[in-house]
Each structure stands twice: as structure tokens, then as C-alpha cells.
Amino acid sequence: MKQALIVVDVQNDYFPGGNLPTDHPVETAQAVAQLITKFRQESKDVVFVQHIATEETYKVIPIMKDGSKGAEIHDLVRPLPTEKVVRKHHNSSFVRTDLDAYLKSKDIDTVVVVGMMIHNCVIATVSDANANGYQCFVVDEAVNTFDQKLYGKVIPAKQIKESFLTGIQFAMAKVVRLNDALNDKY
């Protein structure tokens, strides 16, 4: 098993002061940072994914505008100059990017996917990673979302996150706790 950590969209717009703050973004990013440290110490690949809105999508959801502070990867999880950064314009980190080719060039067969947000770009990335033949893991404390409305009723972020993690573990990925991931208990 040769692993890579894929850090999805931990960008300023998802933090307080950004255009779409998520639930507990600092705590989520701190969990991601612990995993980044572990992977770096073990000389394993860490891939950062940065969402950049197209002109059309920015009109619908005004986040991640190219060149904006909101689109920057957050300081808590800043990539090193030697680490791979994938810029994407779609939900999945695999759509119209070189991520799959990069992982294959490194003989990666297992991915640990973390980041923001579980209901959108994280699940899309996990789904495509699974479809491309990678063994997938998602770390509970290292993903998040935000409160959302359905039929006029607010659904709490915690409930949305739990629902998506439950769905992911059915057939796409194994969901693990942060402490287990930090201790290689996958």
C-alpha cells in the first residue's frame, strides 16, 4: 500500500471572514495539519487541491475567485514549494486535472482524502478516486460542511457530515477517526 494524502479545498473562503464559512473550519484544518505533518515525516506524498471558480460558477456561488485572498490555501495547511498543488474548476479533484496521472506516476494505490466540504468536493473526489481504482480513506475530524436548508428547514452541519460519511463508507471509502489515522490504524 503506497499512500498519498489529498487535501481538498482548505481555502480562506471557508473560514471566518470568507465568503462561505464552514462549521468548525479551524478545528478541521488543524486535524488536516496533523495528517500533513505525519505524511511529511514519513516522506509520503501530500497533494493539495485548490478550487478556482469559473466566471459562470462565481456568479452562482461567489467563492474562490482566481487571484483572491479567498481562493488561497489557508495558512494552517500551506503547501511546501516541493509539494503538488492541483488547481481545479469542478467538484472532483480528478475532473480535467492531472491528479490521476500524478498519482499513477508515483505508484500511489491508496488515498486519504480530507478537506472541505464533505457534501461536495470531498465526496466527488472520493467517488472518482474509487472509480479510478484507488483504495480510499476519509478522516472524520478532517472534513466538514456547513448548515444547509432543505424544504425551508435548517439541517445542522454535523448531521449532514454524518450522513455523507455514512454514505461514503457504504461502498466508496473507509471512514476512520483522526487518532486511528495518526497511528496507522486504517
Contact between residue 94 and residue 128 where contact means Cβ atoms under 8 Å apart: yes
Domain that holds residue 167: 3-182
Query: In total, how many domains does the chain have?
Result: 1
Cell, residue 94? 480528478
Q: Is 122 exposed, middle or buried, given 0-12, 13-18 or 19+ CB atoms closer than 10 A?
A: buried
Whole-angstrom distance, CA of residue 50 vs CA of residue 10? 8
- Average pLDDT over the chain, rounded to an integer: 98
- pLDDT of 74 reads 99
CATH number at residue 67: 3.40.50.850
Nearest to 7 by CA among 135, 132, 113: 113
pLDDT in tens, 7-46: 999 999 999 999 999 999 999 999 999 999 999 999 999 9
Q: What's the whole-number mean pLDDT along residues 45-60?
A: 97
pLDDT in tens, 112-145: 999 999 999 999 999 999 999 999 999 999 999 9
Of all residues in the chain, the percent with pLDDT exceeding 70 is 100
